[in-house]
Structure 1
Amino acid sequence: MTTTKDRLDAPTRRDLLRGAGAGAGALGAMAAGLPTLAIAQDGPIVWVAYGGSTQEAQKKTIVAAFMADTGIEVIPASGPDLAKLKAQVQTGNLEWDVIGVIGSQAIRAGRAGLLEKMDYSIVDTADLDIPPLEYCAPYYSYGGGIGYDPARHPEGRHPTNWQEFWDVERFPGRRGLRNRPDENLEMALMADGVAARDLYPLDVDRAFASLDRIKPHVSHWIAGTPQTISLLTQNEIDFVFTYSGRVEAAQRDGQSVAYVYENNIVTGAYVAVTRGSRNRDAAMRLVSYFLKPELQAAFCNIMGYGPSKSTARAHLEPEVLARQPDLQDPGTAITDVEWWAENGEAVTTRFKTWLLT
């Protein structure tokens, strides 16, 4: 059986530069339209993202095509962190060139002088379903929802929305939630009866009151996204907030996991360039590859996420297209990144304190 690892093992740089990697060559051909150009750079590009199957899929598709077309090496790293980014920019010891970020982070980081303004003369914004931001470009959207093991919790024995997730009498079991406020506040409010389309501006006090009710039943506050799956498959939790693409990757590996596609929280994923990058032009060119429709589709066909470009949907496999969250569904919550940019720092401080009490 073909595993996710088999599908995600990227060709080596030597393979890419020699044109021997068949997958990379095919993706390079799909990304045709830009000739191989000499791009000013000072060493390889360091690209930091969130790791796991998502970053591996990006390496195999988007990054592989960029390396094949340009001959520029891209070194992956995991764990983007605004505090580390700030330290790098302030000291001038830059380790990262291209950064995977969420929109609210990018807004705050851009205003703090940590990111380059996005060069939209290089990065094509045509046909975007998710609006581009001044300091970052969107390349896919992901749905966050309820994950569970169908072998342990078959139909009728697992929650199907956030009110049921909070209902520990009807659906007893260990919960897993992320160790950050974003997404937690939204689901807490929906669990308390707020409609998905009426969430913003978030009623923070009401959200924390709702979180107080579920807190005793949360056995794991999860830092790393891959753990949302590993804790589930290792029977350390029963129900978890996770992401559709992570569940679908685990399913392809034959793991007993399932996902609820209704009542999702949909968020855009963005890519940005570090302020002062010595590889600025090459970094912007890499960002432009993240927005190529064919490459977005190749990535989303692996992970099941939604592309940011409407034209990419024509290249999605039918089963992937059928699983996309319905952004017109009134039960689907769409993250307001501007609200989080304005309020995220204060809410995060409160959330960290709340976790310790």
Structure 2
Amino acid sequence: MKFVAHALAAVALAATAGHIAPAAAQQTLTISSWGGAYQKAQREAWFNIVEKELGVTIKEETTSGVADVRAQVASGRPTWDLVQQGNYGCALLDKEGNTEPLTPAILGVKGIADNMKGKGWISNLVYATTLAWSDEKYRDKKPSSWADMWDTKTFPGGRTMRRSPVYALESALLADGVPMEKLYPLDTARAFKKLEAIKKDVVVWWASGAQSQQVLKDREVEMAAIWNGRAEALATEGEKVSLTFNQQMLLTDCWVVPKGAKNKDLAMKAIEIMSRPEVQARIALYINYGPANVEAFNTGIIKPEVAAKLPSSPENAKKGFVLDANYWAANLDELTKQFDLFIQR
């Protein structure tokens, strides 16, 4: 009886101890991204793979921009382990010291160009700012370059551009004849002078992707500087809208690990997995964005007809250029002030 009593006590103690601290408790990795269909696609394409391979649970949250990451780091106890941001936002956070340095294994991943990563950030997908237009307005001759945005005689009608120096200054210089490979550092005086020539024709300076899409759909404008996914969504809905990848501005979203993240080592492993070509390729199965790793196009996962509509496919990428994230990290604040004054004049 004494033996049985001791055995029962041991079982009870083990059960209690197990309840308090399971020996094989599953780790949680908190990832913050942009939400909506975008983040749902990331879950299907990438997060499920990470969970399975690392044996972790991914908790999802959302971010609205760099200010969120700054606040997380300033708190001294970031609750996010991994965050998605735009490329010049990532470069800015890195410049400010708000990111953890990425491991050599991540930075050494083949297929992701040097201008798509930095000490504390690496790109994960690609989209683009493109020139799009109404086919109902321009039935015969079609626009083909940023110079056509400025050619209001050949292509009359209202325009829409982003209310930001980013994209606007690049498109102005391209329209003025500057080669893509010689854009940076931007000749800002020349760019603002060129923008003056079209200012009266810009009916809407858009503040969101949804707004740029809506004004083109409603025929408030005939031509737009717009994210490729927004224009293609209109075409899919049956709107007579086309775009060109010629002189496209390739933009990336990227991963950063906030400085002081408690699960930074786990976050690094997750980034490494999600940067692999075969994992990168999966994003194109769920949303109209291209992988940042160009080798993803060699995996056979992305069908040719899908690749033809992705800005980062080899055929389309060579028609454009990658937005210089480091340039904008260094100059965004000052040029935004100048741009706002330009709009208000």
Q: TM (normalized to structure 2)?
A: 0.79
The structure with more helix, counted as a fraction of residues: 2
Q: Could you say which residue in structure 2 is the equivalent of 1:84? A: 68
Matches within 5 A, 1:145-224: 145-156=130-141, 158-224=142-208
Deviations 1:80-115 (A, max 9, x none): 2x2332233223464643222233322221121211
Q: Which residue of structure 1 lines up, in the alignment, with residue 109 of structure 2?
A: 126
CA contact (8 A) 1:189 1:199 kept: yes
Percent identity of equivalent pairs: 26
Cα-to-partner distance string for 1:204-263 (whole Å, 9 max, x where unaligned):
110111112222222222222233323322333322112223333444444443211212
**What is residue 343 of structure 1 aligned with on the other side?**
331
CA distance, structure 1, for counterparts of residue 181 and residue 295 of structure 2: 26
Which of the two has higher C-alpha Rg?
Answer: 2
1:317 — aligned with what?
A: 303
> After the TM superposition, which residues 1-357 of structure 1 pair with which residues of structure 2 at under 5 Å, given as runs?
40-41=27-28, 45-49=30-34, 51=35, 53-69=37-53, 70-80=55-65, 82-92=66-76, 94=78, 96-121=80-105, 123=106, 125-131=108-114, 132-156=117-141, 158-314=142-298, 315-323=301-309, 324=313, 326=315, 329=318, 332-357=320-345
Question: What is the letter of the counterpart of residue 144 of structure 1?
Answer: T
Segments of structure 2 that go 5 or more residues without pairing to the other structure are 1-23
For 1:285 and 1:226, the matched residues in 2 are separated by 34
Cα–Cα, structure 1 residues 214 and 130, in superposed 2: closer, same or farther, change >3 Å?
same
- Distance between the aligned counterparts of 1:311 and 1:325, measured in 2? 10
Which letter maps to 2:340? K
Deviation at residue 38 of structure 1 after TM alignment: 7.4
Of residues 228-237 and 183-192 in structure 1, the stretch that sits farther from structure 2 once superposed is 228-237
Q: Is the 8 A contact 2:281 2:302 kept in 1?
A: yes
| Amino acid corresponding to residue 103 of structure 1 in structure 2 | N
Distance change >3 Å, CA 220–CA 92, structure 1 → 2: farther
* Compared CA separation, residues 254 and 105, structure 1 to 2 (3 A): same
Q: Distance in 1 between matches of 2:321 and 2:133?
A: 20
1:187, CA displacement in angstroms? 0.4
Q: SS in structure 2 opposite 1:171?
A: coil
Checking the alignment, whether the CA contact within 8 Å between 1:147 and 1:259 is kept in structure 2 is yes
- Greater mean alpha carbon deviation, residues 200-209 or residues 344-353: 344-353
Deviation at 1:338, TM superposition (A): 2.6
Q: CA deviation at 1:320?
A: 2.6
Q: Bigger shift: 230-239 or 312-321?
A: 230-239
Work out whether residues 123 and 252 of structure 2, in 8 Å CA contact, stay in contact via their aligned partners in 1.
yes
Q: Which amino acid aligns with 1:91?
A: S
Distance 1:99 1:353, change over 3 A: farther
Secondary structure, aligned partner of 1:264 = strand
Is the CA contact (8 Å cut-off) linking 2:249 and 2:321 kept in structure 1? Answer: yes
Residue 298 of structure 1, CA deviation? 1.8
Provide, for residues 113-135 of structure 1, a one-character-per-residue CA deviation record: whole Å limited to 9, x for no partner.
211112344x3743224223101
Aligned-pair distance for 1:310? Answer: 3.2
Partner amino acid, structure 2, of 1:338 = N
The structure-2 alpha-carbon separation of the partners of 1:184 and 1:322, relative to structure 1 and needing over 3 Å to count, comes to same
Q: What is the CA-CA distance between 1:340 and the residue it aligns to?
A: 2.2
Hey, what's the Cα distance between the residues in 2 that align with 1:255 and 1:328?
25
How far does residue 304 in structure 1 lie from its aligned partner after superposition?
4.3
Given that 1:102 and 1:269 are in contact with CA atoms closer than 8 Å, whether structure 2 keeps it comes out as: yes
Which residue in 1 is equivalent to 2:17? Answer: none
Normalising by structure 1, what TM-score? 0.77
